[in-house]
Amino acid sequence: MSNGKESLSPSEMDPNDLPDVPAFQDEYTREYMQSTEQVKDGYYPLISKTNGFTLHFPEDMVVDDTSNAQPDELYESLIFHYEDNDIAAMDEFTIHYISPVSDIEWSKDYMNRRAGQELNFEKLEADYENQYIEVAEMKPDDSTLTLAALIWNDNDQQAQIFTNIICRKDIDKDECASLQDKEREKVIEVFKSIKFLDNKGK
């Protein structure tokens, strides 16, 4: 028998009825969560404030409260990271969603300027039809690996992403490189899970 909870969004539910993970127990992050049903092990669906895109959100991460969306729904910044600040390798995602924007070369040039260097973008196979993804890497220092991603579609929707994978200060260089290799795979999975929605949120 239905108890009415199925029709509620996670932000409307009693936290005691939600999964006991940071993505739902953090009040601000909860506002972004679309459902308590996992899309795959350890990941739940997140929908952006502009309704411009969804992604597979790691259960052990939280959305930073500096994230924001413009009232015209044409721009949004979404920032998220692991809740545990003392983790061996910390992932920090910064996603800028923009629509409409059609000049991909302008976007790459803009990302180059933000990075302070020429980024060597490489194409990846996208998981969704009519979407495209290119990723570049840079190593600002021994403890930081930065992944830059540009994702766009035929509808002039775009996401510009910078993700830093930062090792804790007490982690040595070799262990840090190994940790960053593992985190890189997770980061790419999140990139590829981004799905743009039309203006009806579909």
Distance of CA 136 to the CA centre of its chain: 16
Instruction: State whether residue 61 is helix, strand or coil.
Output: strand
pLDDT at 56 over 80: yes
- C-alpha 48 chain-centroid distance: 10
| 51 phi-psi bin (left φ>0, alpha ψ -120 to 50, beta other) | left
**Taking the model in full, what pTM does it have?**
0.92
75-84: per-residue pLDDT in tens?
999 999 999 9
Distant-in-sequence, close-in-space partners of 151: CB < 8 Å, separation ≥ 6? 126, 131, 132, 133, 158, 159, 161, 191, 194
Question: Would you say domain 59-196 falls under CATH 2.60.40?
Answer: no
Confidence (pLDDT) at 1:
36
C-beta of residue 183 within 8 angstroms of C-beta of residue 175: no
Residue 73 has pLDDT above 90, yes or no: no
Q: What is the residue extent of each domain of the chain? A: 59-196
Q: What are the backbone dihedrals phi and psi of residue 163, each rounded to the nearest 5 degrees, phi first? A: -125, 125
Which of the four pLDDT bands, split at 50, 70 and 90, describes residue 6?
Answer: low
